[in-house]
Amino acid sequence: MPASKWHLEQKRERIVRDINAHLDLLIGSVSSQGVSGRFNLTTKVEGKTTSRYIRAGMEKEVRRRTRRHLKLKALLKELAEVNWLLLKMEMEHL
Protein backbone atom coordinates (compact mmCIF):
# COMPACT_ATOMS: atom_id res chain seq x y z
CA MET A 1 0.00 0.00 0.00
CA PRO A 2 1.46 3.39 -0.95
CA ALA A 3 2.26 5.81 1.83
CA SER A 4 -0.29 8.51 2.54
CA LYS A 5 0.49 12.15 1.92
CA TRP A 6 0.56 12.72 5.69
CA HIS A 7 3.13 9.92 6.17
CA LEU A 8 5.29 11.27 3.36
CA GLU A 9 5.16 14.79 4.81
CA GLN A 10 6.16 13.42 8.23
CA LYS A 11 9.03 11.50 6.64
CA ARG A 12 10.10 14.64 4.78
CA GLU A 13 10.14 16.64 8.03
CA ARG A 14 12.29 13.95 9.71
CA ILE A 15 14.73 13.92 6.80
CA VAL A 16 15.01 17.73 6.86
CA ARG A 17 15.76 17.60 10.62
CA ASP A 18 18.39 14.92 10.00
CA ILE A 19 19.94 17.01 7.22
CA ASN A 20 20.19 20.01 9.55
CA ALA A 21 21.89 17.80 12.15
CA HIS A 22 24.58 16.74 9.66
CA LEU A 23 25.76 20.11 8.39
CA ASP A 24 29.07 20.10 10.32
CA LEU A 25 30.70 18.11 7.54
CA LEU A 26 33.89 17.88 5.57
CA ILE A 27 34.11 16.68 1.98
CA GLY A 28 36.99 14.43 1.11
CA SER A 29 38.82 11.35 2.28
CA VAL A 30 41.41 10.81 4.97
CA SER A 31 44.66 9.24 3.85
CA SER A 32 47.90 8.51 5.63
CA GLN A 33 51.38 9.63 4.66
CA GLY A 34 52.94 6.22 5.09
CA VAL A 35 54.90 5.27 8.19
CA SER A 36 55.12 8.83 9.50
CA GLY A 37 51.67 8.50 11.09
CA ARG A 38 50.51 11.79 9.56
CA PHE A 39 47.20 12.18 7.80
CA ASN A 40 45.78 14.34 5.01
CA LEU A 41 42.28 15.26 3.96
CA THR A 42 42.18 14.89 0.19
CA THR A 43 39.46 16.85 -1.56
CA LYS A 44 38.72 18.85 -4.70
CA VAL A 45 38.98 22.64 -4.64
CA GLU A 46 37.86 24.42 -7.80
CA GLY A 47 38.26 21.19 -9.78
CA LYS A 48 41.76 20.43 -8.51
CA THR A 49 42.66 17.69 -6.07
CA THR A 50 44.28 19.11 -2.96
CA SER A 51 45.49 17.64 0.30
CA ARG A 52 45.12 19.38 3.61
CA TYR A 53 47.31 18.37 6.50
CA ILE A 54 45.42 17.02 9.51
CA ARG A 55 47.11 18.12 12.72
CA ALA A 56 47.70 15.63 15.53
CA GLY A 57 44.52 15.07 17.49
CA MET A 58 42.22 16.14 14.63
CA GLU A 59 42.04 12.83 12.76
CA LYS A 60 39.09 11.37 14.69
CA GLU A 61 36.99 14.52 14.23
CA VAL A 62 37.93 14.85 10.55
CA ARG A 63 36.89 11.22 9.96
CA ARG A 64 33.59 11.83 11.78
CA ARG A 65 32.87 14.87 9.62
CA THR A 66 33.70 13.09 6.37
CA ARG A 67 31.27 10.33 7.40
CA ARG A 68 28.66 13.05 7.95
CA HIS A 69 29.14 14.10 4.33
CA LEU A 70 28.35 10.56 3.18
CA LYS A 71 25.29 10.44 5.45
CA LEU A 72 24.15 13.83 4.13
CA LYS A 73 24.40 12.59 0.55
CA ALA A 74 22.20 9.60 1.43
CA LEU A 75 19.69 11.86 3.20
CA LEU A 76 19.49 14.18 0.19
CA LYS A 77 18.82 11.21 -2.06
CA GLU A 78 16.07 10.03 0.28
CA LEU A 79 14.60 13.56 0.43
CA ALA A 80 14.54 13.77 -3.36
CA GLU A 81 12.59 10.50 -3.55
CA VAL A 82 10.04 11.67 -0.97
CA ASN A 83 9.71 15.01 -2.77
CA TRP A 84 9.08 13.14 -6.01
CA LEU A 85 6.32 11.04 -4.43
CA LEU A 86 4.70 14.12 -2.91
CA LEU A 87 4.83 15.94 -6.24
CA LYS A 88 3.21 13.00 -8.01
CA MET A 89 0.41 13.01 -5.39
CA GLU A 90 -0.11 16.74 -5.80
CA MET A 91 -0.30 16.47 -9.60
CA GLU A 92 -2.83 13.63 -9.43
CA HIS A 93 -5.20 15.87 -7.47
CA LEU A 94 -5.20 18.78 -9.92
Give pTM, 2 decimals.
Answer: 0.84
Give the relative orientation of helices 5-21 and 59-92 as an angle to the nearest 10 degrees. Answer: 160
What would the pLDDT profile of 46-94 be if each residue is shown by its tens digit? 999 999 999 989 999 999 999 999 999 999 999 999 999 999 999 987 7
Q: Where are the domains of the chain?
A: 5-92
**Residues whose CB falls within 8 Å of the CB of residue 31, separated by 6 or more in sequence, listed in order:** 39, 40, 42, 51
Query: ∠ at Cα 23 (40, 58), nearest 5°?
Result: 30
Question: How much is the pLDDT for 7?
Answer: 97
**Residues whose CB falls within 8 Å of the CB of residue 68, separated by 6 or more in sequence, listed in order:** 22, 24, 25, 26
Amino acid at 37: G
**Residues whose CB falls within 8 Å of the CB of residue 55, separated by 6 or more in sequence, listed in order:** none
